[in-house]
Chains A and B, each alone.
Chain A
């Protein structure tokens, strides 16, 4: 199948299954076998999911915990490969997914910025050029030159965000972005994300916060037990999820993260 040049992400009949293993050691496995219990169990985290995303669209991906959101994001990010169907993307991908992955606790913040940027596909020159912006955004002051192992979790997260958000990408993925970080920093992140969206990059935003989704996105996808349950407008999408999640709870999250 061919797609027009304006297509950014293609997810075509994608299936991803995981094997659940209940026992790990030889002893446990033997005992389970003798009792006639199951040793492993296969389940589909994603089951026949299909959609395409145009360049410049901003998609809100919603769904309950365990509905397959993170798996889908990992497939788009390229960490995992689908067992069935195919995932295609156009251009460079970055995002606030697994920020700070690969930070080495013994290295300083500065060294980790270079390492993390390299992991995200930046070159040495590019990192040098953006280093001041990254440092400013993370706002760690003198701690930038002490080992990351001594940082608080909020500081580590900020440094990770800051690197990720400065990668020039065509597709930007964001997974539960605002789980850590204080209020001013959350605000800064949301502003930066709005900037990314307005710059015409494709945005893929996973969130439980209806308010943030309403502000950021122009289309909502809802996953339900690994299947695509809804694909359409933002308001209808949020209504669709609320129907499952209960309206009261949703409003609270809204207040907290909507800013």
Chain B
């Protein structure tokens, strides 16, 4: 034995080896997060002939269906109905994908979770970022179609788009955190979540205009606006759809609730609180994750 060579001394502090700062640790290890997100994205289109083109084809086909069925066959909806729907669809897809994939993320990454000391919040957050990335092509399509329909961008309303994304990102991540850990203990949770997300589509003014909600519920419509996803959808419609109509000012006055900004900031605050709650719940049950997988 070579005793002489053994002088490797470390000054690092004596600490617990388990990661414990939760979401903060996730952003400390941004490089790993980036790698995990890249892995998801590139693995998704690996071996497919059209590759990334699929993420344009899918939203386009949905747009076409709504335009054709709702606008042409049923002859329902408002002016530029396809854009109205598509604004909602982008937000709803972002939310549903984050929620669904996030819920499954811990179980799906079993191998890593059971064996490596990575902060486990990494996986729900990565799911959110992957969904966020998938939103890119949809935004491009929406912008192009809006421009074709004579859209005039408004900087104030475009800031609303950022707010909408932030609301969904925070809310989606918080729910993904809570439900991903629940899914470890009971696999039924992921089935439950996909049922839950079915309701989301109809809980927002996507395939019906908000003006109908206002007309039917009157004073109660403000409870409808307590739904952060509905606020996010309205913010998107304010930014894109309203600007493509013939009389934007009239449409904005009738179709967009006057206190939308107030409700949106409330929604952002609620989502942020939800994220803290999600982190708390996650931490509480995290210790039991490796053995229950």
Residues of A within 8 A of B (CB): 3, 5-8, 10, 18-19, 55-56, 74-81, 83, 86-93, 97-98, 101-104, 106-107, 111, 114-115, 118-121, 123-124, 147, 170, 198-201, 218
Residue of chain B at shortest CB distance from A117: B35
Q: Is the CB of B19 within 8 A of A78?
A: yes
The list of the 6 closest CB pairs from A to B, nearest first, reads A200-B8, A98-B115, A78-B17, A78-B117, A91-B10, A200-B6
Q: Is the CB of A78 within 8 A of B16?
A: yes
Residues on the A chain within 8 Å of B1, using CB: 218
Q: Is the CB of B18 within 8 A of A80?
A: yes
Count chain A CB atoms within 10 A of each CB in B29, B31, B47 and give the residue with the most: B31
Q: Is the CB of B17 within 8 A of A199?
A: no
Chain A contact residues, majority secondary structure: loop
Q: Is the CB of B12 within 8 A of A119?
A: no
> Bound complex: CA of A55 vs CA of B6, how far in Å?
9
Total residue contacts A-B, CB cutoff 8 A: 125
Residue of chain A at shortest CB distance from B18: A78
Determine whether B195 belongs to the interface, using a CB cutoff of 8 Å to chain A.
Answer: no
Q: Is the CB of B31 within 8 A of A123?
A: yes
Q: Is the CB of B291 within 8 A of A18?
A: yes
Q: Is the CB of A198 within 8 A of B6?
A: yes
Determine whether B42 belongs to the interface, using a CB cutoff of 8 Å to chain A.
Answer: yes
Q: Is the CB of A56 within 8 A of B111?
A: no
> Bound complex: CA of A115 vs CA of B43, how far in Å?
12
A-B CB contact pairs (8 Å), 27 listed: A5-B9, A8-B10, A55-B9, A56-B6, A77-B17, A77-B116, A77-B117, A78-B17, A78-B19, A79-B18, A79-B117, A79-B290, A86-B16, A87-B16, A88-B16, A89-B17, A90-B12, A91-B12, A98-B111, A98-B116, A103-B111, A111-B39, A114-B35, A121-B32, A124-B31, A170-B10, A198-B5
